[in-house]
Homo-oligomer: A and B are copies of this chain.
Amino acid sequence: MKDLLVNNAFAISMVLAFISLTVSGFLIAYIKGKSKGNERMKDIASTIEEGAKAYLQRQVITISIIAGFIFFLLMWFYGTNTSIGFLLGAFCSLSAGYLGMRVAVMSNVRTTNAAASGENFALRVAFNGGAVTGLLVIGLALLSVGLFYKYTEDMTSLIGLALGSSLISVFARLGGGIYTKAADVGADLVGKIESSMAEDDPRNPAVIADNVGDNVGDCAGMAADVFETYAVSLIGAMIVGKLTYGTESAVIFPLVLGGISVIGALLGILYVNLTKGNASGILLGAVVISAITSAVLYFPATQYLFEGNGNYPVINYYYASLVGLIMTAVVVVITDYYTSTSYSPVRKIAEASETGHATNIIAGLAVGQHATALPVGFIGVAILLSFHFAGLYGIAIAVVSMLSMAGIIISLDAFGPITDNAGGIAVMAGLDKKVREITDKLDAVGNTMKAVTKGYAIASAGLAALVLFGSYVEELAVQTVFKSMPFSLKDPHIIVGLFIGGLLPFVFTAHGLDAVGKAAGSVVREVRRQLKEKPGIITGKERPDYAACVDIVTKAALKEMIIPALLPVIVTVGVAWALGPVVLGGVLVGTIVTGLFVAIAMTSSGGAWDNAKKYIEEGNHGGKGSPAHAAAVTGDTVGDPYKDTAGPAINPMIKVVNIVAILIIPIFFK
């Protein structure tokens, strides 16, 4: 039995990954079987669906042109396998996002309809919609990395795959992020503030663009992002395993951990479908079940694969994998503390809103900065612990085990935009207030889940990037004349590298913020034009031209994403060319360090502002319509590009920098 398992460990992982995809197919069938409700609902849903499809199709075209160009560059420098790897990574990253988004727009209207029959049913439909994305992400990541590894048996080709998924993920994150927030901010600025319409008012010409945005940003963007982090972590861990141990066990171990976690994810999903009660409780229960399943099954897997192998006691590899699971729990709890209405950070922002816009902003910015301390502190502990257990490989294992929880975590995350859309459809279709109450309740749960997932995505991305930096160092030692560079802080070149790298997240996010501002400006102008030219819109007699707004945001988002997305590539290649491998080493670490802080601060501030507004809307500090509420709306609007555009786009960005660095070693530093 044991030998059978060990000899077939790789195959078993692939089968489990395949099962993950199969179950996601069944879930799609489940969702398709539910009713879409009345004609009005179908009409609205199909408008959102068309908008989302239109955007993603154009995004695919834009990205394909850039990807094609890079494909030929890679073909020229590295040959067929690496460039095929690049295409595979790009394809899977796009697919994860695209399919997840398609299912989300399929689930939203069905969730609205299910809400009429009760909260638990609506929860199940929305959650299963999200679970499709979760299972897709882990299944695709494991299969693409695993099979491509078996096909090429070559690490450089895997780096090609990593580059494909990371680069495309930057585009998806930025493009989707700019889209969703430009539509959101634009719709709010004219709709809510100038014309005092409610959220999701069908008279607002930008309302469909806003709902489309939830799908292309929160859903497709996040799916591509976490797919990328997962794939890259697997690859990074396999490279470290190859370079430091050289055994097959060490190389395939990350894939085995991933395969095992599919079982955990499936049990978690099953739990949600079989249980009734409080929504948050059920979702939390699913995470706990997934984590415990993994923790239990990792033990025999480690024993079997490392008995007689490795430089550390066998149990140490198991401990390292536990570090990753515990980190997931820790990050979830911390992010929840800083962004939930139940604790003091959000309540302080709400209180500060009483003295105006400015004090709301100051309080929110301060919360974001405070929120960096605990996650970064625990990341430090995780690094030292897992390194203590099994060296650089230990860190890599911790990262992989943390990311193997992606199946269930993404299910929760994708649940958010589905319920958000479901609420919008309920309002636009003029359904009974009770329906909206249920979707609102689920939406609040979804908001917390979204915030929490961001913390998870950032922490894991930071750790994954560190593993890539380790690979850079190892590759440099193996491949080139730079046998063992000290990369010492005593060397001013390293300091300058840290500065240049540290700069990247600041400038990158600044571009992201600018892009949202510009694109939102075009939405505002378009909405104003429509309201002026067609006065019947306000009185409800004329139908606004939703498609015009969707079109404008689509074009603006695609245009604005290109420069910031290429920035990390250009800087990395430029530094390699002009300043050499030592400065570049500093750049890699510098980007990780400031990137982690900027990303956590931005997403935490954004989440906290969002919920401070919700807290006031619950009737605190004067409630809706009070001056405090106006101030809180300002904070929420500032937080939008912070938490949904600039902040999360840092995750793939820091990995692109590190992957490009590994790739260009043989070109620049021979």
- A473 at the B interface (CB under 8 A): yes
Task: Judge if A563 is at the interface, Cβ distance under 8 Å.
Answer: no
Q: Say yes or no: A502-B357 contact (C-beta < 8 A), given A384-B492, A487-B488, A507-B370.
A: no
Residues of B near A503 (CB, < 8 A) are 372-373, 376-377, 597
Q: Which residues of A in the span 175-194 have a Cβ within 8 Å of any Cβ on B?
A: 185, 189, 193
C-alpha gap A102/B635 in the complex (Å): 40
A 486-514 to B, binary, CB cutoff 8 A, 1 in contact else 0: 11111011111011101100110110011
Number of residues of chain A lying within 8 A (CB) of chain B: 73
The complex places the Cα of A395 from the Cα of B496 at a distance, in Å, of 13
A412 → B minimal CB distance (Å): 27
Residue of B185, B357, B524 touching A634 (CB-CB under 8 A): B357
Least Cβ–Cβ distance between A206 and chain B, in angstroms: 14
Instruction: Give complex CA distance A626, B470 in Å.
Output: 55
Q: How far is the CA of A366 from the CA of B590 in the complex (A)?
A: 20
Copies in the assembly, this chain: 2
CB interface residues, A 629-646, toward B, < 8 Å: 633-635, 637-638, 641
The verdict on A601 contacting chain B, using a C-beta distance below 8 Å, is yes
Is the Cβ of A510 less than 8 Å from the Cβ of B366? Answer: yes
Given A372-B507, A489-B487, A593-B498, are A357 and B357 neighbors across the interface (CB < 8 Å)?
yes
Q: Which residues of B contact A356 (CB under 8 A)?
A: 189, 193, 634, 637
Contact B517 A366 (CB under 8 A): yes
A644-B25 Cα distance, complex, nearest whole Å: 57
A384 contact from B373, B489, B490, B493, Cβ within 8 A: B493
The smallest C-beta distance from A264 to any residue of chain B, in angstroms, reads: 28
A134 on the interface (CB 8 Å rule)? no
- Please indicate the chain B residues that have their CB under 8 angstroms from the CB of A379 in the complex: 499
Task: Give chain B nearest CB distance to A136 CB in angstroms.
Answer: 33
Tell me, yes or no, whether A337 is within 8 Å of chain B by CB: no
Within 8 A of B (CB), among A588-614: 589-590, 593-594, 596-597, 601
The CA-CA distance from A495 to B494 in the complex, in Å, is 13
A489-B586 CB under 8 A given contacts A509-B369, A597-B503: yes
Q: Does A325 interact with chain B (Cβ within 8 Å)?
A: no
A238 within 8 A of B: no
- Residues 212-249 of chain A, each 1 if its beta carbon lies under 8 Å from chain B, else 0: 00000000000000000000000000000000000000
Taking a contact as CB atoms under 8 Å apart, the answer to whether B487 and A355 are in contact is no
Given the known A-B contacts A370-B507, A490-B473, A503-B373, are A517 and B359 also in contact in the complex, defined by CB atoms under 8 Å?
A: yes
Task: Name which residue of chain B comes closest to A524, CB basis.
Answer: B355
Our pick among B355, B377, B524, B596 for the contact of A189 (Cβ within 8 Å) is: B355
Interface string of A354-367 (1 = CB under 8 A from B): 01111101110111
For the complex, what is the distance from the CA of A498 to the CA of B469, rounded to whole Å? 14
Min Cβ gap A113→B in Å is 35
- Interface bits A459-479 vs B (CB < 8 Å: 1, else 0): 000000010011001000000
Let me know if A516 is at the binding interface, CB within 8 A: yes
Instruction: Kindly provide the distance from the CB of A77 to the nearest chain B CB, expressed in whole angstroms.
Output: 27
Partner of A517, one of B362, B492, B499, B635: B362
Q: Does A37 make an interface contact (CB < 8 A)? A: no
Q: Are A362 and B490 in contact (CB under 8 A)?
A: no
In whole angstroms, how far apart are the Cα atoms of A367 and B496 in the complex?
23
A594 CA to B503 CA, complexed, in Å: 9
CB nearest to A630 among chain B residues? B357
Q: How far is the CA of A487 from the CA of B634 in the complex (A)?
A: 45
Check B601 against A506 for contact (C-beta < 8 Å): yes
- A383 at the A/B interface (Cβ < 8 Å)? yes
In the complex the two chains form, what is the Cα distance from A509 to B366 in whole Å? Answer: 8
Q: Are A499 and B380 in contact (CB under 8 A)?
A: yes
Q: How many Å lie between the Cα of A476 and that of B136 in the bound state?
A: 53
- Of B361, B377, B585, the contact of A638 (CB 8 Å cutoff): B361
Any B CB within 8 A of the CB of A387: yes
Tell me the smallest distance from the CB of A62 to a CB of chain B, in Å: 24
Instruction: Tell me which residues across on chain B come within 8 A of A637, comparing CB atoms.
Output: 356, 358-359, 362
Check A352 for interface membership: any CB of B closer than 8 A. Answer: yes
> Does A521 lie at the interface of the complex (its beta carbon under 8 Å from any beta carbon of B)?
yes
A377 to B517, CA, bound (A): 26
Residues from chain B with a CB closer than 8 A to the CB of A589 are 489, 495, 498
Say yes or no for A21: interface residue by CB 8 A criterion: no
Interface residue A427 (Cβ < 8 Å from any Cβ of B): no
Q: Is the CB of A506 within 8 A of B383?
A: no
Residues of B within 8 A of A593 (CB): 498-499, 502, 590, 593-594
Return chain B residues, CB-CB under 8 Å to A469: 489
Q: Are A466's CB and B487's CB within 8 A?
A: no
Q: How far is the CB of A383 from chain B (nearest CB, A)?
A: 5
Quick check: is A56 within 8 A (CB to CB) of the other chain? no
A369 to chain B, nearest CB (A): 4
Residue in B507, B517, B633 whose beta carbon sits within 8 Å of that of A369 in the complex:
B507
A520 within 8 A of B: yes
A361 to B640, CA, bound (A): 12
Cα-based distance from A363 to B514 in the complex (angstroms):
7
In the complex formed, the residue of B with least CB distance to A484 is: B490
- Using Cβ atoms and an 8 Å threshold, which residues of chain B touch A495? 383, 466, 589
4 more contacts with CB within 8 A, not counting A356-B634, A372-B506, are A361-B634, A362-B637, A369-B506, A502-B594
9 nearest CB pairs, A to B: A358-B637, A369-B510, A366-B513, A487-B489, A380-B496, A357-B634, A387-B492, A369-B506, A357-B357
Q: Would you list 11 pairs from A and B whose C-beta atoms are within 8 A, ordered by A residue?
A: A355-B521, A356-B634, A358-B635, A362-B641, A366-B514, A369-B513, A372-B503, A376-B503, A384-B492, A487-B490, A495-B589
